[in-house]
Structure formats: C-alpha cells, structure tokens
C-alpha cells in the first residue's frame, strides 16, 4: 500500500494519475495533513510514502523526522513531492531521511524514474520497507 500525503485536491489527482500510469498496482491511501499522515503510517505500515512538503499542522520535514524516528518505519522509502524552487527544502528533506523527490505537478515519467531509484536502493541494501530489522543499521536515503 502506498500512502500519499497531499492537501491540495488537484495535486492529489495528478499524483494518483501518475501512479496509475506508471503501472503501480498498489492500493493508494491519502492523508491530508502531517498529523493524519503519522497516524495512518503507524496504523497501516505503507511500503512507500509520497509526501508533499507543505502541509497543514505538521509540515513535510516534520513528518519525515517522525517517520525516521520510529523503529518500524525508519527505512520506509519516502519520496518528496516538491513545488519548491527552493532547493534548500529538498536538501533538508534528504538530510532528514527522504530518499527521492519529484517535482509537482507530478509528471509520470519523472515519477517512474524516482520509483526506479527507490527499487535500486531496495535491491542494493536488501531492505524492504516496514520490516522489522535486526541488524540495527541506519542506512538513510540515497
């Protein structure tokens, strides 16, 4: 299951379309703000989180931090959706533990590329998301 965290309905629709076109067969759920995102992540353990950085209540950076702080989700792949012409936001997201980013409006080609990168990361590090990890390592994003 993929969790999409996005408060703008148009951006949500475009992201869903990109997911569909990229051939994803995963069930997609939507959270509309940071608090809801954390709650759904804990309850549903998504394999992938697509995260808008600008959200009400808890912003994207805060969500990333919270996800990485929790043992079960510390390796969950996070793809940041950014409108920013502020490279600093994306940089900061990487520092906090994001794995990849896609510019909004989500273009499905870009999206597929981002997904491929995530898959490579999975293969490389042999980590599947939301699995209990016993080695205690803390590989952050690429």
Partner 1 sequence: MEFSDELFRRLLEAAPDAILIVDRTGAIAHANPQTAHLFGYTTEEMESLSIEALIPERARHRHVAHRESYQANSALRPMGKEGLSLLGRHHDGHEFPVAISLSPVEIEGAWYTIAICRDMTAHQKTEETLRQTMNHLRQANRELESFSYSVAHDLRAPLRSIDGFSQALLEDYGAQLDAVAHDYLARVRAAAQRMASLIDDLLALSRVSRAEIIIGDVDLSGTALEIGKRLLSTETKRTIDLVVAPNLIARADPRLVAILLENLLRNAVKFTSKREEARIIVGRNETGAFFVKDNGAGFDMAHAHKLFGVFQRLHSSAEFEGTGIGLATVERIVARHGGRVWAEAEVDRGATFFFELAPNTGATS
Paired sense of beta strands 100-103 and 48-52, if any:
unpaired
Strand order in the sheet with 2-5: 28-31, 2-5, 48-52, 78-82, 100-103
Taking the complex as a whole, the smallest distance from the CB of residue 41 to partner 1 amounts, in Å, to 25
Which tokens hold the place of 74? 């510390």
Kindly tell me which residue out of 1, 10, 27, 39 binds partner 1, with binding defined by CB under 8 A: 10
- Cβ atoms of residues 97 and 111 within 8 Å: no
35 interacts with partner 1 by CB under 8 A: no
Residue whose token pair is 């803390």 = 138
Residue 10 or 91 having the CB closest to partner 1: 10
Does 85 interact with partner 1 (rule: CB under 8 A)? yes
Verify binding: residue 118, partner 1, rule CB under 8 A.
no
- Measured from the CB atom, the residue of 8 and 142 that comes closer to partner 1 is 8
Residue 66 C-beta-side C-alpha neighbours within 13 Å: 17
Dist. CA 6–CA 120, nearest whole Å: 25
Q: Which is nearer to partner 1, 45 or 90 (CB)?
A: 90
Task: Rule CB under 8 A: say whether 27 interacts with partner 1.
Answer: no
Nearer Cβ to partner 1, position 107 or 133? 107
| Part in contact with partner 1 (CB under 8 A); list of ranges 55-63, 104-112, 115-123, 127-135 | 104-112
């Amino acid at each position: 299951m993929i969790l999409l965290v996005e408060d703008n309905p148009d951006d949500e629709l475009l992201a869903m379309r990109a997911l569909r076109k990229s051939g994803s067969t995963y069930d997609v759920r939507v959270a509309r703000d940071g608090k809801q995102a954390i709650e759904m992540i804990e309850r549903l353990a998504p394999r992938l989180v697509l995260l808008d950085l600008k959200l009400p209540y808890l912003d994207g950076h805060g969500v990333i931090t919270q996800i990485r702080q929790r043992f079960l989700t510390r390796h969950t792949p996070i793809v940041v959706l950014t409108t920013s012409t502020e490279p600093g936001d994306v940089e900061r997201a990487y520092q906090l533990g994001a794995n990849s980013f896609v510019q909004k409006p989500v273009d499905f080609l870009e999206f597929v590329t981002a997904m491929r990168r995530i898959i490579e990361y999975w293969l490389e590090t042999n980590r599947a998301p939301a699995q209990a990890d016993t080695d205690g390592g803390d590989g952050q994003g690429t």
